[in-house]
Structure 1
Amino acid sequence: MSRLGPVITLTAGAALAVGLGVASITATPAANTTVAATSNEPPATETAAAAEPSAEPAATAATITPEPTETAEAAPKTIDKADYGGYVRGNGGLIAISTRDGKTIGYFCDGKSEAWFKGNEKDGKITLRGFGAAAVGGTLGGGKATGWLKIGGKKWTFAANTVVKPSGLYRATAQVRGAKLRAGWIVLKRPQGGFTQVGAAFVDEKQLQIPQLNAYQPTAPVPLDDDTTLYPKDVDGFIQEMQ
């Protein structure tokens, strides 16, 4: 019995050692697998990439949003407010053109004859019509109005710069002995100082001697004769009446 004791002890020790070795071998792969899953970054990236498709609809919606703006920009534009005045080439008369939100009027006068025009402006282009075949066409922009003018079978060209008050177009109407009077003026400031002024007044088809406006206060009342006083208006005061 005393001899078998060490052998049994050694055998038990050997068996224990073998068991610990197997346990160590078995546990090692599990530890390595855990470390690989923790430190391996690509799977996290793949997970994020897999989530990205859910953000694509938002990006698509953002791309579509500007389309209404592009459509609005393509719509015809109009000039909010502008006034022009200048000479008619080869005629000696003056022309004035004023536009407000696309609504546009014009007036020509050389002191002997006159013509009123009305129409519209879109994208800087104007087409205005007057009595009979009278017409004006041209372009507004860059601080200038340029184009052509037709009256009584004759055609001229013009170039008119932008103007500010008191330069510009003025108009007055009144009743004279039961008849309607209309009067129009163009006032232009001269580069060398002072003002150039031309106008005409008619009662029905009869032309009257028109009074001069106060160039520095063109809307001040002016007497036509002993019985009639005219009250000129600037463009903002009568452009709606002309449309």
Structure 2
Amino acid sequence: MKRSGPLFTLLAGLLLALFMLSLNATTGTRGTTTGNDSPADAVSASPAPTATATAPPGKRSPSPSPSPSKSRSAVPDGDYAGRTDDDSSAVAVTLRDGRAVAYFCDGRDQESWLNGDVESDGSMRLTNQKGQVLAGDLAGKRIRGTVDMGARTYRFTADKSLKPNALYRATDTVADTEIDGGWIVLLDDSQVGILRRDGKAGPAPRIDPETGTVTVDGEQLTARPVTP
């Protein structure tokens, strides 16, 4: 009977230990939060990467369109012919690809060949080595301007020709004589021209505008349209 005392004491200790273990299992420690804590999804996130367009495999990414640049607009090609305001002379101007050639002629002994550029607004300043100048402006189907011949300046008006060409020239040699002729064919089919024989000027014989043929001193020559 004396041995039962320690045995009961040992059993009581075991039961107390099992009770404590069971209590700890059901009342585990919980984490606590305060009212100032933010929920997990309120944490600032890194900004999403910006999407970049890419070309499909095998194709180049489109290049940005270049900014438009100003370009010189060419004036229309054409042939113009007319007379000076005092009706003493004729003027012809041929325009091709932004360039111009002009011929001033009084049909007797005074003439001038000039050339130069035509600006996008239709203005032109044509010159030659003699210092003579044709200044004109193309507006619609008409050129108005002046021809400065040095000793005198002439005002003129030249209208667009209804024919394929309005300005012709022929250079050749006939019976050992150097021939140089220029012709202006006006809208009424009249002609103004000068023919030089070894540099001596005189009125030019009439040409056939359809073929350009002209007879000089018994020989048939061909006058050709003049272009810049």
Superposition misfits of 4+ residues, deviation over 4 angstroms: 50-53, 61-64
Name which of 117, 123, 126 aligns with 1:125.
123
Q: Deviations over 1:104-158 (max 9, x none)?
A: 1000111112111111112122111134121101112311111111113211222
Q: Does 2:224 align with 1:233?
A: yes
Q: Does 2:159 align with 1:161?
A: yes
Q: Does 2:106 align with 1:114?
A: no
Contact 1:167 1:186 in 2 (8 A): no
Change beyond 3 A, Cα 1:208–1:155:
closer
Q: Distance in 2 between matches of 1:171 and 1:206?
A: 16
Q: Which has the greater radius of gyration?
A: 2
Q: Specify which structure has the bigger relative contact order, considering alpha-carbon pairs within 8 angstroms and separated by 6 or more residues.
A: 2
Q: Does 2:207 align with 1:213?
A: yes
Q: Does 2:182 align with 1:222?
A: no
Q: Distance in 2 between matches of 1:203 and 1:131?
A: 21
Partner SS state of residue 52, structure 2: helix
Q: Distance in 2 between matches of 1:116 and 1:103?
A: 14
Segments of 5+ residues of structure 2 without an aligned counterpart are 1-47, 54-60
Counterpart in the other structure of 1:95: 91
Q: Distance in 1 between matches of 2:139 and 2:105?
A: 23
Q: Does 2:179 align with 1:187?
A: no
Change beyond 3 A, Cα 1:229–1:143:
same
Identical columns (%): 30
Segments of 5+ residues of structure 1 without an aligned counterpart are 1-49, 56-60
Q: Distance in 2 between matches of 1:65 and 1:117?
A: 43
Contact 2:88 2:106 in 1 (8 A): yes
User: What's the CA shift for 1:95?
Assistant: 0.5
Q: Deviations over 1:92-113 (max 9, x none)?
A: 2110100111221000111112
Q: Deviations over 1:18-56 (max 9, x none)?
A: xxxxxxxxxxxxxxxxxxxxxxxxxxxxxxxx787535x
Change beyond 3 A, Cα 1:115–1:66:
same
RMSD: 2.7
Aligned length: 174
Contact 1:176 1:203 in 2 (8 A): no
TM-score, structure 1 length as denominator? 0.63
Change beyond 3 A, Cα 1:63–1:148:
farther
Name the one with the larger helix percent.
1
Counterpart in the other structure of 2:137: 139
Look up the equivalent residue of 1:88 and give its one-letter code.
Answer: T
Q: Distance in 2 between matches of 1:141 and 1:153?
A: 28
Change beyond 3 A, Cα 1:53–1:231:
same
Change beyond 3 A, Cα 1:77–1:212:
same
